[in-house]
Structure 1
Amino acid sequence: MEGISESALRALAGQRSFERGQGYLDAVSGVQVGDGWVTASVRGAERYEVELTLAGPGELAGECDCPYGMEGNFCKHLVALGLTVLARREGLPRQRKAARDRAQVLYGWLSGLSKDELLALVREQIGEDRQLRRRLELRAASARGDLAAIRALVRELLDIGPFAQYGYVEYADARAYADQARKAVSVIGELAGSTSRADDAITLAREAMLLLADAVENVDDSDGWLGQIGGDLAVAHLEACRAAGPEPEELARWLVGHALGDMDDGLTDIDPLDYEEVLGDEGMALLRKLTLEAWRGNRRGWAEKYLMERLAKAGGDVDVVIAVHAADLAPSGHTHLVIAHELDTARRPDEALRWAERGIEDTRDLADIDTALVDYLCDRYGQADRLPDAVALRRDHFVARRTLLAYRQLRVAAQAANCWPAEREAALAVLRADAGSGQRDGYGGGPVLIDALLDDKDIDAAWHAATETGAHDQQWLALADQIRATRPADALGVYRRLAEPLAKQTGNAIYEQLTSLLLSMRECHRRLGSQDEFTVYLTALRTDQKRKRNLMRLLDQHGL
């Protein structure tokens, strides 16, 4: 196929999928070449069917039934097939000619059959192929305009019974069920495209949504097949409504009921605003009225709030958006922040600031506040040259949280306001009190005081505090790394203490930690001029640990 090339495959798949596809060449099997198409199976997490086609002169396209491919992507399995075809390009012309010859022979033979012979052939095929029979039955019912027959077949296609064991469709059978369900949606989609049958398509689409919602409760849809089918159903319903032009009031009521009810568990994800053209002014007015009534009846309902907010935003009514959020304020202040952002977007900054400040006032405990709200307010205070207010808020937040991050944020605010020395002393006093009482919330569970002093590059104070109050091993390690150049003896004591328990453990991660400590110890001995002492220590350790081959290999790699 002239349209297949590495550059075309790379362009369609993207670099990542192209590179991954190169690793699947040995997984390609059953390659069949036709006139303008190539099919094969590719073994991945399971066996996938892939097909490459030339949509036009030099226009390469592909389909794969893996989850990524079903979303319309040119996946790694298609890349693998394309690269396999390229590797066999010399035989392609002959295979394509053979495919054309076979097709001509087949079409010639079929053309020579009588009507009765063709009917007999079709009967034979539908007797052997259940799926073909169903497709033809649906086409026949559609051609006759037999809604009852189509409805019965759609219900049959959406029935999980043939795939379920003990009433549940396991993961291994979910895809086969989805393939069957997709045929029902395909028929509804065909009806939706016909003006004369669009009303039937609306009815069937809504019924199918309910059936699919019931089915998904009993199907392991880990790969999201039913979600894709639900999306296709939503598209078919919208297209049918556009073609049929249903009564606006009925459509508005159905859309609100669907959006606020439990009809489809989110499978179809229908957006009522997509129907604005179909609803017209009358229908949209009723849609807003019904939504408002529903929201007033349940101001904290997620679906009610979401639909109310969507309609308000679409109408550019910021005050309604704010009212929706204000009716259910989160104690963390997060909702206040959402409102502030909405007001900023509407260019109402003074109101936005008041709502943000109210979020701080309404919060019972600053330890539970949404940190993003604090950040927002401090940014606003900085822009307004209200630096003392920013420092006061950061201080209160730090006292409530007593974390290294809150300490850093207080430092930034206080430095901007030129008052960090005084704020630092007060903050460290709080952390010293925590360390003295045994509170441990810092790195690795050690005192935050140690982390704060290390972050301030006050190494001597951090060492003194660790000696007085204790510290976590990771904090001791950080301290040792900081003082190694100036106080190698103290650092060496830390490294040796941390190495002792590691020598009794196994695992590559442990070996890497131990090797790192040994390298630091060697550096300390070098600075102390006691390399011989380290040699004795290392020799003894290697003798004791000689059975740990990975450790010995790692030590050799680092010259230990």
Structure 2
Amino acid sequence: MSTRKNPTADFSEAGLRALAGPRSFDRGTEYLNAVTALEVGDGWITATVHGTDAYEARLTFGGGEGLTGMCTCPYGQEGNFCKHLVAVGLSVLGRPESLPRQRARARERARDLDAWLAARSRDELLALVREQMAHDRGFRSRMRLRAATARHDLAEIRTQVSALLDSGPFAQYGCLAGGAAHSYAEQAAQAVAALAELTAHGRAADAVSLSREAIDELGRRYEETDDSDGALSSVLAQLAEVHLDACRAASPDPTETAQWLVVHLLGDLAHATGVALRDYRHVLGPEGLAVTRELTTEAHQRNPSGWVEKDLMRTLNTMEGRVDALIARHASNLRPDGGTHLRIARELALAGRPAEALQWAERGVTEAPDPAVLDSDLLDYLSTRYERSGHLAQAVILRRDHFTAHPTLTTYQALHAAAQTADTWPAERENALKILRTTAARGEADRPNGPALIDALLDDGDLDTAWQAASTTGTADHQWLTLADRIRDTRPADALPVYLRLLEPLKKSTGAAAYEQLTSLLLNISACHRLLGTDEDFTAYATTLRTELKRKRKLMAMWDEHGV
């Protein structure tokens, strides 16, 4: 999974800090000695970083997306720019050579390698390939698969596809996780590419049967895989596309196709492959659709409350033109939040009746007894319809009305997006902030989440105004902490009192979560003193704090680990 990205963040210490945040950046500086196997390419860097485990980290830069990163650590797989990526970036920036010179050297190495390979004789290149095949099982399987595909050897193709889908060499304790899962997905993608070549070379019928077998096999591996980065899901989706393309080219038996399709759609893998019944309409034809309805009806009768069975029945109704009956059933029991109106609108849109779909979506908004509780999906749907048809002002009015009725960060962000598209954001923002200031003045700061005004200003990056508003109207502790984190490097004198105040009540707490918070706050307090040039004051404060909390041995060990 790609981590958070910032098109404006360049590959620099400041860019790394902007993506990682203060805490991950500071922790990354502690892992510089844990970076191994560092390789710099032209626009990319890879390395292994040793922490709780050995994690594979990759930075990409110089493209349209700015600086991005991927790491196999748990925090990185959630989409975060982790400390390991910071360590890799700082390791490269800390080299004597400048980054442009390192990239130039990478290009030079690539050219040298290409030139060296081009100068080898046919026998020398064959020897290199054979050497690699002898030591690399995955490479050997890929070469055998290509050879089998070239000579149309179906039995060998099946054997080699099965070999590439074998997760045994990657599994640990019966499961796939982290870098092993990612490596397995890359190998499985080779099998998918070979199956696609079958259709391209006129062997679509073979591709149909083999891709179905591969989907079943890969599905079993998927169940034992930690696919938090989505790598294996992506391969499954590609494999499903290969199967669909092969079916379109080969026109397989409609009854057999319907049977396979219904079993797959009712199973656990449909969400990963993205297989959709609508895509197979022309493949199935009238005969296949009849079989599909028969099998789906039987499944629905066996499990009438199952949402998968219901959704499949609804899709069939839409495909077969039974939309009006479906709409009549939904219209008899409309939800007050507009959710049922949205379902009707979507059914009409799928049936090729966009004007009626828009009318039902608009009715969902106008007929809602309380605008504050409108279904967010309905608002998103209607706003998107307005924007796509060029009615930008209507999208802004829709978002403005909802924000006025329910002023939260989420509705503020939705209004911001619509007004930005319509090029009216400055005026809309001024009016929206007035509403949020009025709400904050009524005492929203006393609520657990704090005033939405502060969240909105933070979301806009207007830190000075957010600080002034928090100081005037008050705010929740978590918002104070966010504010302090955002201004720490530029205004340490303002951030320091916040960290000191938030630390005090935690001194009475115990447990891992409390100790993590205490450690984080103490690290930030240390950073503030370092920026202010008052390290002696921090030393005195930390010494007093350690004396006071010395009985908390796990906390002391944690502080020792972080060097505070």
* Structure (1 or 2) with the larger CA radius of gyration: 1
Structure 1-normalised TM-score? 0.48
Q: RCO higher in 1 or 2 (8 Å CA, sep ≥ 6)? A: 2
Structure 2-normalised TM-score? 0.48
